[in-house]
Chain A
Amino acid sequence: MAINPHNRKPLKILSALAAVTLGLYGLLFAVSTWGDAQWQPKLGLDLEGGTQIVLKPVLIGNAKVTNEQLTQARDIIVQRVDANGVAGAEVTTRNSQDIVVSMPGTPDKATEDAIRKSSQMRFRPVLAAAPGTNQPAPTTTPSGTATGTGTATGTATPGSEIPTATGTATTAKSGLPGAFVKGTTEPTPGATATPGATATTGAVTPTTPATKPVDGSDLAYVTDALAKQFQELDCSKPGVLDGLEDIQDQPLVTCTDDGAEKFILGPVEVRGDQIKDAVAGYVPLSNGQPSSQVEIRLSFNSSGTKDFGTVTKRLVNLPDPRNRFAVTLDSKVLTAPVAQAAILDGQASITGQFTIDSARDLANQLKFGALPLSFTLQTRDQISPTLGSEQLRMGLIAGIIGFALVFLYSLAQYRALGLVTVLSIVIAAGLTYVAIALLGWSHNFRLDMAGVTGLIVAIGVTADSFIVYFERIRDEVREGRPLRAAVDTGWRRARRTIFAADGVNFLAAFVLYLLASSNVRGFAFTLGLTTLIDLLVVVLFTHPLVAILSGTKFFGGGHKWSGLDPERLGAKAHKARYAGRGRVAMPKTASAVSDGSAL
């Protein structure tokens, strides 16, 4: 069967929409079969219930929690929860002491930890380093003579086949891939890899007189007591660092995250709150392709940039291990790379033992700031929905009734064109459903009661696009255009209006999503989603369908029930119109026209 050439383009557009819809449903099918997605949209805290976590602040000694601290902690926790998606969690304080986080679903351990970790990041110069455990390592002698340094070569270090892991202080034993390279992470030749801290306790001389230290790297900080504490520290023992007092202007004896190495660190040189932004990503290779190595790129604010520049400049000229700069997170060393050059632009990147997920969590924590307190998990309970199930049921029933009313009204107003409206709304509903289910999987988007109501309201806004369009077509028919021309001109004009109005709505969604928090963010998400789908449906479905229909006899001929009857619309009388191929279409009798306008 030959296709009417007028219908080719609309049919192409319609098949594109069909492809998009099928693609989305296919994706949902795929991720629900092989992934952890589900066919139903995820529901919010008020409709589905969730988990309630009570966090208790860890207080050392007789310290008290102030209200500001608690409010600050609450705000930071809200930001962290928001960074996990648009789930709509509730964070409150209780008895001016605890923080109660209620979130939908069951968060896994990692999410929980990410929420409550203090995430104090600090940068301290290394004064001394040694392997984490006091095993009979031949080179680690308590007497502290400098032995065994400077023997390891870069090529021999594990992990050096990754170009960016070069220039790191890697312990030959643990293979701790810690790199602290300039922001852009230019790959440096492998040979520059410095010998690790295989046995570098030589720097610690127990007899150092307690003179006043000049700078953070001054060994005068290492007192006898500190050296003793350092020697006795065994990082492999669990809980060895509990109760560690981390005071900013005092040196610190601590271990790495995995206990492979232990350090004496100088006082804090750069603080975490001097970090302006943190982004997690993969280290790029020299050809620009991402490698599998995960890094966190930091940029400091102006004071941070200055401090960081000063310290790196000083460290470059110091002997190993004092040329290393340790990054501590909650008093544990994350990584302690060698400063290879003074970093003056305030850009740095940390590589360590991250997965991309843990790096993202950490980057978020750094960005939103450290909690003023540490928290322990007190209780963790399932909670029931705050709204009864009847609210959702009744809401859905009301939505269906409302939709039926819209259907009847459209039919009454637009006759057969009303069917197009209803069909468009059904398509929009189908797309919204799959989008919400998919976003629930990818962004942890959850529908709460306000969201459901928002979707019901969206019926009205979506229908409006069609109404604007149909009224424009009718206006053109009234001007005396034949239907096919009326559809084209009407569309051109309606499109502008629809784009402008939807553009404003989308702007609202975008700004609110970026700047607001918790519930408002969820709302912005729903608004943006429905606006996009509205645009998609009117461009890819309603217009092509009407264009095709305008070629049919029923609509194009202006049947009484088509909703586009020129007589009923009071189209103006044409003077004789050239109809092509030498034919002239004569106007209908004048009486018919005037009857039409008097309807």
Chain B
Amino acid sequence: MINFAALGNDLYTGKRSIDFVGRYKRWYALSGVFCAIAIIGLVWHGLNLSLEFRGGSEFRVSSVTNSTNYESRAKDAVGTIPTAGAAEVTKVGTSTIRVQTEKLNEDEIRSVQSALAGEFKTSTNDVSASFVGPSWGASVSQQALKALAVFLALVSLVMAIYFRTWKMAVAGLVALLHDLFITVGVYALAGFEVSPATMIGFLTILGYSLYDTVVVFDKVRENTNEALGNGRMTYSQAANLAVNQTLVRSINTTIVALLPIASILVIGFLYLGPGTLLDLALALFVGIAVGAYSSIFIATPLLVHLRLKEPAVADLEKKATRYQSRHGGVVSSSDAAPVPHEPDAEELAAAGSDRESVSATARSGGVVRETHKYATSGPRNQPKRPPKSRR
């Protein structure tokens, strides 16, 4: 296993640094590819909505005498009619089996009826057929969408107030939509059925994606505030350092979140086959992975771009460039940390090759701040009081 502690050290101090903000073109292109895949999935397959959304046909097999293994038997019987799709089987009361399938036409209904009657050894008269409407109808979706819109508006407001800039809210929302879109697209591509449970999965991703972005942005806020205060780093450098410093946390969190879902995915795939569990696990796995990716690779570079034109940020750019040219152009954690601290020689020597590296001698020849003469003269002299005898 990679030694994350050591990696964390290097990332924290800036000894090793991945240029997340600078190489934005690469990440944006990668996301473009993901989105293209999602679009292909959506256009080519489309979302395969389940019975709960569209309604379908329902069959009731009454007076069943032998109902052992009713579930698999009914599924097998319905499976002989290809258009029926995956059947949902429930037992109603003690001797009635309810089978729900896709919406079928007259002929198909008749063949399903006879198949079920044959399987459960009853007459076709005991198999009633009817149409059921959707349980997750348009009104449920509408209400959910309305709630979602209100929530997004509110969360933008809260983020804008908390981070004191609406641009963080915008970047966070873009990352969120990016995650949802890619997840839905991959889901469509996999051809899994979208059930109400899947919808819940998508909503879970929404929560997780926002959570992750807020954690990363909080560090960005901390570092950039410090940079705006001491003028030692440009905005993008400070933001990039923040992402690097939270990288180990992001990796650890994502792995910890993905481990249980991966185990569901594997078990679901090996032992259960398609079903609620597998549907949910797939949606969540993709969503959480993409969510972690977007907080780092999309949200932060986007935020930097949005803010780059601001006068304060542009001003910082100039100030920091001046500072760095004076101090040898090295960015380290100490420049972002509130406590002023001189970087050690070792750190400077080990600074990344893509940066201007400066030898220790060059540095010692640099500007040395002169100390004020009062400060060197020891404790402050108090005015002396003349001795009593002289007063």
Contact of B133 (CB < 8 Å), options: A96, A391, A501, A572:
A96
Contacts of B207 in A (CB 8 A): 505, 508-509, 527
CB <8 Å contact, B6 and A457? no
Inter-chain contacts of B272 with A (CB < 8 A): 390-391, 394
A569 at the interface (CB under 8 A from B): yes
A383 touching B92, Cβ below 8 Å: yes
Question: Which residues does chain A contribute within 8 Å of B262, judged by CB atoms?
Answer: 402, 405
Interface contact B256-A516, CB-CB below 8 Å:
no
Q: For B130, B148, B150, B151, which residue has the most chain A Cβ atoms within 10 angstroms?
A: B151
Given A78-B140, A391-B277, A471-B8, decide whether A398 and B263 contact each other with a Cβ distance below 8 A. yes
Shortest CB–CB separation between residue B172 and chain A, in angstroms?
9
Cβ contact within 8 Å between B147 and A505: no
B-facing residues in A395-448 (Cβ within 8 Å): 395, 397-399, 401-403, 405-406, 409-410, 412-413, 448
Given contacts A394-B277, A599-B5, are A449 and B197 in contact (CB under 8 A)? yes
Q: Does B268 contact A (CB under 8 A)?
A: yes
Task: Decide: A92 near B344, CB < 8 A? Known: A456-B264, A460-B256, A464-B253.
Answer: no
Interchain CA distance A479-B337 in the complex, whole Å: 9
Task: Judge whether A220 is part of the interface by a CB distance below 8 angstroms.
Answer: no
Residues in B46-103 with C-beta less than 8 Å from chain A = 52, 55, 58, 71, 88, 90-94, 96, 98
With A and B bound together, what is the CA distance between A81 and B253 in angstroms? Answer: 38
Is the CB–CB distance between B280 and A93 below 8 Å?
no
Given A92-B133, A388-B71: A468 in contact with B215 (beta carbons within 8 A): yes
In the bound complex, residues from chain A placing their C-beta under 8 Å from that of B228 are none
Cα A314 to Cα B341 with chains together (Å): 84
Contact of B154 among A71, A78, A454, A507 (CB under 8 A): A507
Within 8 A of A (CB), among B261-291: 261-264, 266-268, 271-272, 275-277, 280-281, 284, 288
Residue of A nearest to B98 (CB): A383
Are the C-beta atoms of A520 and B144 separated by less than 8 Å? yes
Q: Of A145-153, A288-296, A329-337, A492-500, which stretch is located at the interface?
A: A492-500
- Whether A450 sits at the interface, judged by CB under 8 Å, is yes
Give chain A nearest CB distance to B341 CB in angstroms: 7
B143 near A457 with CB under 8 A, answer no
Q: Main secondary structure on chain A at its contact with chain B?
A: helix
Tell me the bound Cα distance from A395 to B261 in angstroms. Answer: 10
Q: Which chain B residue has the least Cβ–Cβ distance from A92?
A: B135
Chain A 375-403: CB-based contact to B (< 8 A → 1; otherwise 0): 00000011111111011001101110111
Assess whether B190 is interfacial by the CB under 8 Å rule: no
Q: Is the CB of A398 within 8 A of B131?
A: no
Contact indicator A450/B92 (Cβ below 8 Å): no
The main secondary structure of chain B at its interface with chain A is helix
Tell yes or no: B40 within 8 A of A by CB.
no
Q: Is B257 a contact partner of A519 (Cβ separation < 8 A)?
A: no
* Inter-subunit contact A520/B130 (CB<8 Å): no
The interface bits of chain A over 79-98 (1 if a CB of B lies within 8 angstroms of the residue's CB, else 0) are 00000000000111111100
Structural contact, A384 and B256, CB atoms closer than 8 A: no
A497 to B211, CA, bound (A): 10
Interface contact B6-A449, CB-CB below 8 Å: no
A381 to B62 CA separation, bound complex (whole angstroms): 13
> In the complex, which residues of chain B have a beta carbon less than 8 angstroms from the beta carbon of A508?
151, 155, 206-207, 210
Which residues of chain A have C-beta atoms less than 8 A from B219's C-beta? 497
A449 B280 Cβ-Cβ under 8 A: yes
A402-B146 contact given A453-B284, A508-B151, CB 8 Å threshold: no
Q: Are A520 and B271 interface neighbours, CB within 8 A?
A: no
A402: chain B residues at CB < 8 Å are 259-264
Within the complex, the shortest CB–CB distance from A314 to chain B, in Å, comes to 40
Q: Which of A78, A91, A497 contacts B215 (CB 8 A)?
A: A497
Task: State whether B249 touches A468 (Cβ < 8 A).
Answer: yes
List the A side residues contacting B148 at CB < 8 Å. Answer: 512
Please name the 3 residue pairs, one residue from A and one from B, whose CB atoms are nearest each other, closest first. A402-B260, A460-B257, A93-B133
> Can you list 13 A-B contacts with CB-CB less than 8 angstroms, sorted by A residue number?
A403-B260, A405-B259, A405-B263, A413-B5, A453-B277, A453-B284, A460-B256, A479-B337, A501-B218, A505-B207, A520-B144, A570-B9, A599-B5
Binding site for B on A (CB under 8 A): 46, 49, 52, 70-71, 74-75, 78, 90-96, 100, 381-388, 390-391, 394-395, 397-399, 401-403, 405-406, 409-410, 412-413, 448-450, 453-454, 456-457, 459-461, 463-464, 467-468, 471, 474-475, 478-479, 493, 496-497, 500-505, 507-509, 511-512, 514-520, 522-523, 527, 568-570, 572-573, 594, 597-599
Besides A70-B133, A597-B13, 18 other CB < 8 A contacts?
A: A74-B133, A90-B135, A94-B130, A385-B90, A399-B263, A453-B281, A460-B260, A478-B12, A501-B211, A505-B211, A507-B155, A508-B207, A512-B203, A516-B140, A516-B147, A519-B136, A520-B140, A572-B344
